[in-house]
Amino acid sequence: MTSQQPDAGQPDTGQPDTGAKELDPKGLIRESYRIAGIDAGQCRSIFLDWALSLPVDQDNTVALTAMLETYGSDHPDHPMTSVLREGLAGSARPKRRGGWRSRPRD
């Protein structure tokens, strides 16, 4: 008989760590990993709802990294893991693309 110590961050226990609870108070990300047959489109919809519910002063990169560490490491092939990674890649500060300052001056 082997003894396994449960990890509080595993989504299948339903008990995420304290940091994840604070960043996902509605449990949207946690529950997305528990939905059988969920697809990328559904994950993007859940992700958008989660992202819009973050506090204004919350650093999105920190929140995404925490969600990936909490849930993504145990489910690397899950569609939500892909969506979280895309969100992390897209959270880099965008470069200025236009406006009056980018136009040539005479």
CA atoms within 13 A on the CB side of 104: 1
Would the pLDDT of 18 be above 60?
A: no
Across the chain, how many H-helices and E-strands are there? 5, 0
Helical ranges in the chain per DSSP H: 18-23, 28-32, 40-52, 60-67, 79-90
What integer pLDDT is reported at residue 6 of this predicted model?
41
Q: What percent of the chain has pLDDT over 70?
A: 69
Mean pLDDT calculated for residue range 74-81: 94
Give the predicted TM-score (pTM) of the model: 0.69
More confident residue, 2 or 59: 59
Predicted pLDDT of residue 16: 54
Q: What percent of the chain has pLDDT over 90?
A: 54
pLDDT tier at 40, thresholds 50, 70, 90: very high
